[in-house]
Structure 1
């Protein structure tokens, strides 16, 4: 498979843990239990299987340290990145600072994003789709896909 797919609901317990959904777990490489959890570009978290994270780190390592934008990007992107592992019950602990950043409450959604998953507060995730009309999605798809065809 070339990428993850789907949306999965989960519940965060009082200790800040959630059970990794079975449908998501089936898509992971055999035995994958280590992840990097970091701040997302929007107010969500990004969950990278360790192998996906290594590919991104290799790219970031090739960036020019003398460029102030590169340094700022690294701070923002890597600052909250935390290694997390599944416990023996298949649960993952959300660090309090990252949970607060994304405004995660009890109900969360894990949404596939090709090589990673985004973790959203369920209410905020639902609002994303309520605020985005089918027409706006059609326009966005056209713009993005035509840009892809043109090599932009």
Structure 2
């Protein structure tokens, strides 16, 4: 559904304009209802259409709360999950707590990841992307990726 690297700007009020090419899809799929939360592995945000998030939240809630790692994920992902609504101008208002976590300022990257987006500060994304490009070890790739021909 969502793919591509999209440079966008964050305005002074903390709003980001969703690129026009995604707006109709978002409106049709979830009536503009989105959920943003933190990524526990990188300083970026995850942005889901509400129906996609509800499936993930149900799986997270089903994890055993007495398991320390599961409880950590529950607290971080569900605890930071914030409902957002696409406004009439195609913008989403990101709460300051999420912006602070991801170090978001004026220049952002909206990174399509299939069923969700990632929201990165442009500088942090560029650094992370360059690190990924410098990695040459394929030992950690899942077996399914080794058979993929690009």
Q: Shorter-normalised TM-score: what interval?
A: 0.7 to 0.9
What is residue 40 of structure 1 aligned with on the other side?
39
Mapped contact 2:20–2:90 kept (Cα < 8 A):
no
Which whole-Å deviations, capped at 9, do the CAs of 1:93-149 have from their partners, x for residues lacking one? 010010011000101011112221000001111111223335x25x34x63232667
| In structure 2, distance between residues paired with 1:25 and 1:60 | 28
Gaps of 5+ in 1: none
What is residue 58 of structure 1 aligned with on the other side?
58
Q: How many residues align?
A: 145
Shift of 1:7: 1.3
What is residue 10 of structure 1 aligned with on the other side?
8
Give the 3 Å change call, closer, same or farther, for CA 26–88 of structure 1 in structure 2.
closer
Shift of 1:54: 1.1
Considering only aligned residues, what root-mean-square deviation do their CA atoms show, in Å? Answer: 2.2
Which whole-Å deviations, capped at 9, do the CAs of 1:10-57 have from their partners, x for residues lacking one? 111111111111123354361630111111121001101101101102
Gaps of 5+ in 2: none
Give the 3 Å change call, closer, same or farther, for CA 12–32 of structure 1 in structure 2.
same
Question: Does the alignment pair 1:146 with 2:143?
Answer: yes
Give the 3 Å change call, closer, same or farther, for CA 72–21 of structure 1 in structure 2.
same
Give the 3 Å change call, closer, same or farther, for CA 15–83 of structure 1 in structure 2.
same
Q: Which SS does the other structure have where 1:132 is aligned?
A: helix
Mapped contact 2:107–2:122 kept (Cα < 8 A):
yes
What is residue 23 of structure 1 aligned with on the other side?
21
Q: Which SS does the other structure have where 2:12 is aligned?
A: coil
Q: TM-score, normalised by structure 1?
A: 0.83
| In structure 2, distance between residues paired with 1:51 and 1:21 | 20
